[in-house]
Every structure is written in C-alpha cells, then in structure tokens.
Structure 1
Amino acid sequence: MFARLFLDHPRCVNETYTEHLGAAFGVGGRLLAASFKCFVHGLVPGLYKTAGSDAIIALYKDVAPRKFDQPTL
C-alpha cells in the first residue's frame, strides 16, 4: 500500500519521491499565484488582465511534454 501511494507513480515518470514532490509543489505554487492574480483581477479588472491565461499557457508548455498515461486513484 505504501509503495502504491508514494513510490509507484514517481518511478513511472522516472523521478524519485523528492523530485516528484518538488515538481508537483512547483506546479501547485504557480497555480496558487495565478489563482491569486485571477481573484485580484475579478475585484480590479484593470489588474492582471492576462495573468490567468498566461499561466495556463506557460504551465501547459511545461507539463505537456511530461505526460504519461497514468491512472489516478
């Protein structure tokens, strides 16, 4: 059970647990920053006009090449 939850997927994408953790936290941090900018844009439309779409495009370019056909839980 431990290996299935913590080790199998990182191995399938040729990463250690720590490398995978860092990559996932990096994507998550970028998404949090983009989310914050989108909320600010909702309150003040003149700010961060393209931040959401810019973040989506940049993340897609970074994540798409790493795609592996892996099922989730």
Structure 2
Amino acid sequence: MDLSFTRHPQSVGESYGEHMGVAWSFGFTLIGAGLACLVHGLLPFAFERTGSKTVRRLNDRLSSRCAQADAQLADAHFGETVRG
C-alpha cells in the first residue's frame, strides 16, 4: 500500500494542502447536509430540500473536478507518448 501524502493530490493537480482543503470542504458540507436530513426526519417541514440540493451541488463540483483531472492525465499521457 502506498502511503504517500502527495501521490493522489498530485494526480488531481493539487498540493497536499490544497487537496486537504477541498476534501474538508466536501466533508464539512456533507456533515451539515446530514445534520439537516436528521432534523428533517424529526421535523418534516424543516430543511425540505437541503439534503438533495447539497448532494446535487457537490455532484456537480465533483464531476467538474474529475473531468479536469482526467484531462490533465490525458494531456500528461499524450505528452509522454509524443516524447517516448
């Protein structure tokens, strides 16, 4: 198992600190949405769309980030192929 703190962040074009910030942003947003869902379960009139809106927003962010990382990886691979 590779325990490198930089391998995965570099693979998505980020430093360790940048990647930690993005991951924490997703994590804290999910915690907030989860709490809103728990409250909604008790009080159905509260936070009626918070969970679903949050999931959609995070999915859009993640999809965009994945597409960017895939493009960077393809560019790097193409460069290696041309040079190789």
TM-score by length of 2: 0.74
Give the unaligned 5+ runs of structure 2.
71-84
Identical columns (%): 36
Partner of 1:49: 48
**For 2:36, what is the secondary structure of its paired residue?**
helix
RMSD over aligned Cα atoms: 1.3
Moved more, 45-54 or 60-69: 60-69
Give the unaligned 5+ runs of structure 1.
none
Counterpart Cα distance in 1 of 2:13 and 2:60: 19
- The structure number with the bigger radius of gyration is 2
Counterpart Cα distance in 1 of 2:20 and 2:55: 20
Per-residue Cα deviation, 1:23-55 (whole angstroms, up to 9, x for no partner): 000000100000000000000001001111000
Q: 1:22 deviation in Å?
A: 0.2
Question: How many residues matched?
Answer: 67
- Divergent runs of 4+, >3 A: none
TM-score by length of 1: 0.85
